[in-house]
Amino acid sequence: MREKLPNPSLLGKISVEESLSTRRSVREFKDKNITTEQLSQILWSAYGVTDKKNNFKTTPSAGATYPLEIYFVKNDGIYYYYSEEHSIEVIKKGNFRKQLSLACLNQSFISSASLSIIICAVFERTTLYYGQRGYRYVYIEVGHSAQNICLQAKSLDLDSVCIGAFDDEMIKKLLSLPQDVQPLYVVVVGEKNK
């Protein structure tokens, strides 16, 4: 069953410039839940809709093909983000942070982080129009989405780290990904353990 998220705020507490100057990769997190409002804001920044008429999103996309699929892991389950509805749905209930940590080559800090966003893609949405060059466009789009997440996290007084080191097959199995969906990047978000 899908759960509608609160509408995102369009006015931040700090400037983009401050987010840029203070963002750092953090690998020590408090085992503390983020709020529903924070989750809503972060998911919207990752791939939320900004223009309902045209279905344009926060992330630039070659030809507006929008190949990305956003999954995330919290301490109570694995979820999927429906950007057009700004809603989420649980895929699996339970705490899978340890399994995600193992899939990310034993990066143990993932086990205590509040949120891990797994950015995936259906390459064919873009390669259908752009051929082999479409692969490049998808990777560029993943970078845009990850940067949005990191800057939004910082504006919410949270920290993050981007992870490219993981076992693709373990991630696919953990998330129960469809055959055409490929995991590309993991962005871990939480409150820094000071």
Residue 115 is assigned to a structural domain of this protein: yes
Residue 4 is assigned to a structural domain of this protein: no
Q: What residues pair up with 118 in beta bridges, in sequence order?
A: 71, 186
Residue 9 is assigned to a structural domain of this protein: no
Residue 7 is assigned to a structural domain of this protein: no
Say what the pLDDT of residue 7 is. Answer: 96
Say what the pLDDT of residue 185 is. Answer: 98
The structure's pTM equals 0.96
Other C-beta atoms closer than 10 Å to the C-beta of 71 total 23
pLDDT digits (tens, 9 = 90+) for 21-55: 999 999 999 999 999 999 999 999 999 999 999 99
One digit per residue, the tens of pLDDT, for the chain of length 194 reads 999 999 999 988 899 999 999 999 999 999 999 999 999 999 999 999 999 999 999 999 999 999 999 999 999 999 999 999 999 999 999 999 999 999 999 999 999 999 999 999 999 999 999 999 999 999 999 999 999 999 999 999 999 999 999 999 999 999 999 999 999 999 999 999 87
Say what the pLDDT of residue 128 is. Answer: 97
Residue 3 is assigned to a structural domain of this protein: no
Say what the pLDDT of residue 194 is. Answer: 78
Say what the pLDDT of residue 89 is. Answer: 98
Distance CA 76, CA 50 (A): 29
Residue 6 is assigned to a structural domain of this protein: no
Say what the pLDDT of residue 62 is. Answer: 98
Residue 151 is assigned to a structural domain of this protein: yes
CATH number of the CATH domain containing 69: 3.40.109.10
158 phi/psi in degrees, rounded to 5 = -115, 170
DSSP H helical ranges for the chain: 16-22, 36-47, 97-103, 124-130, 133-155, 168-175
Number of domains the chain contains: 1
Residue 157 is assigned to a structural domain of this protein: yes
Say what the pLDDT of residue 59 is. Answer: 97
Tokens of 94: 């339970």
Distance CA 127, CA 117 (A): 24
- Its domain, for residue 37, covers 14-190
pLDDT digits (tens, 9 = 90+) for 176-193: 999 999 999 999 999 998
Other C-beta atoms closer than 10 Å to the C-beta of 42 total 28
Three-class SS state of 82: strand
